[in-house]
Amino acid sequence: MTDSSAPPFLPFTRPSIDEATIAEVGDVLRSGWLTGNGPKVQAFEAILSQYFAGRPVRTFNSGTCTMEIALRIAGIGPGDEVITTPNSWVATANVIIEVGATPVFADIDPRSHNIDLKQVAAAVTPRTRAVIPVHMCGLPCDMDALYELSAKHSLRIVEDAAQAIGSSWKDRRIGTFGDLVSFSFQANKNIMTGEGGCLVVNNAAEAALAERYRLQGVSRRGLDGIDVDVLGGKYNMTEIAAAIGLAQMRRLETFNAQRLSLAKHYFHCFGTEFEDELGAELPIADFDQSNWHMFHLVLPDRIERATFMQRMLDLNIGTGFHYAAIHLFTLYRKRGFKPGMFPVAERVGRQIVTLPLFPAMKHSDVERVVAAVKTILRS
């Protein structure tokens, strides 16, 4: 029997989908136009372009293929090296291998958990052609230092901004400037299309190339003219996903404002003595630039993460972890990476835990989570 007095389960994330969005998806289904470069996709790309200061934007069926296509647009391939972080979802490094290039890792900053740009600079070789930084949990990298490094070494930058829609750097929205910028619309992101993503590019030529890469390399002319000049894939966004995205964009500012409010309440509830008393590390309290995609803790070594997560689950609270260190996966060990090479990423990857944070949460949910965390760490 279940305990009827137990509080309801609180997941670490949940998408916000209103009835208007469901109705719009129904309209798409009734229209019979479900895929291809349809009116919803075109409208979604137009509103995204407006959001990113008029830059060309193309949508895709994931925020992984966007990074792969960005590398292909940049001409990255066999013989090239691409520097990235070991602290990310594995897709960030997998796309480098996918295009035939060699992934090179640089360790992370112990506080921001973003890639350490001093270590990136030290890792540059004559074969380095690009860098893929990650704006971890929506906290932007040091964009000034990143693009100074890019200019110094003539490197292309593919920003993994999967978690960063609505984040900014010195009052400039991420995606409105820079080189190639990839966003994800996967179900737990600040806005979502179920699965999906978009790529912000620099000019019309790159946008046209992105279109060909996303649909088998095909270009069309007239009613029956067709050609294929590059090896593309099947990466186009559906009309259904675009309809969801259009509805979500209307609510993005509201979503992010709620995330900010919840993040501030987390810090208020944890208090100034939490880190010193219990040895856990809170994220950087950046209330100006981060979109607060996630709220995480780095646990003290005295408690194993799995134990902590289970005890939270016993209290009907879901958690996650973002992320395990990429270079310790078997695929990457086979490429010569070993434990001890990136100690900060390894420590964070072993002990980081993600706490609930999503727009439909209430401040009372935050208070419940913080009370549970403190109880577990004090026991």
Two tokens, residue 276: 């010193």
Q: How many CB atoms lie within 10 A of CB 363?
A: 14
Specify whether the CB–CB gap between 339 and 333 falls below 8 A: no
Two tokens, residue 42: 């075109």
How distant, in Å, are the alpha carbons of 13, 117, 200 from that of 294?
Answer: 9, 22, 23
Specify whether the CB–CB gap between 130 and 160 falls below 8 A: no
Torsion on CA atoms 324, 131, 263, 183, rounded to nearest 10: -100
Q: Distance (Å, rounded) from C-alpha 67 to C-alpha 80? A: 16
Specify whether the CB–CB gap between 93 and 332 falls below 8 A: yes
- Helices 19-31 and 239-249 cross at an angle (nearest 10°) of 150
Q: Distance (Å, rounded) from C-alpha 173 to C-alpha 351? A: 31
Q: How many CB atoms lie within 10 A of CB 287?
A: 12
Query: CA 54: distance to chain centroid?
Result: 22
Cβ contacts of residue 362 below 8 Å, gap of 6+?
Answer: none
Specify whether the CB–CB gap between 121 and 133 falls below 8 A: no
Catalytic residue among 40, 152, 189, 374: 189
234 tagged catalytic = no
Q: Distance (Å, rounded) from C-alpha 215 to C-alpha 236? A: 6
Residue 327 has what DSSP assignment?
A: G
Helix, strand or coil, per DSSP, at residue 75: coil
Number of H helices, E strands in the chain: 14, 13
Burial of 152 (0-12, 13-18, 19+ CB in 10 A): exposed
Helix, strand or coil, per DSSP, at residue 152: helix
Query: Would you name the residues annotated as active-site residues?
Result: 189
